[in-house]
Copies of this chain bind each other. A is one copy, B any other.
Amino acid sequence: MKIELINGVSRGTLEIIARKISDRTITDRILQNEFTAVGLCQGDIVSMLVASDIAEKTSDVVVSEISGVCPQHITCLGIFGDVTSVEASLAVIESRLNKK
């Protein structure tokens, strides 16, 4: 699973991300700059779902699939929140899924 953290995400990047999320509640919050950081986790569907579950159980973050209308077997999870919360979630995902 490929994991990246972007802090203070640039405006055009937020718009690209928002276009690839189908949950309008979350895209509205993204476009209103509610989140200062985003964690990205790319992998197969099973890993993405497990990572999503870990993130929400680890810290105060919002999770959403970043892939748009036509999901593939490789998908990308977005983890949104402040940088401390996102980092905490990514650390647990890293240790659980990439250390196997």
**Which residue numbers of A lie inside 8 Å of B, CB to CB?**
2, 4, 6, 9-13, 15-17, 19-20, 22-23, 40, 42, 44-46, 48-50, 52-53, 55-57, 62-77
Contact = CB atoms under 8 A, between A and B. Distances in A.
Main secondary structure of the interface of A (DSSP, over half): mixed
Given A6-B53, A45-B42, A49-B17, A71 B74 contact: no
Contacts of A48: 16
Contacts of A17: 49
A64 B16 contact: yes
B12 A52 contact: yes
Contact of A50 (B4, B49, B66, B73): B4
B64 A45 contact: no
Contact of A71 (B20, B40, B44, B57): B20
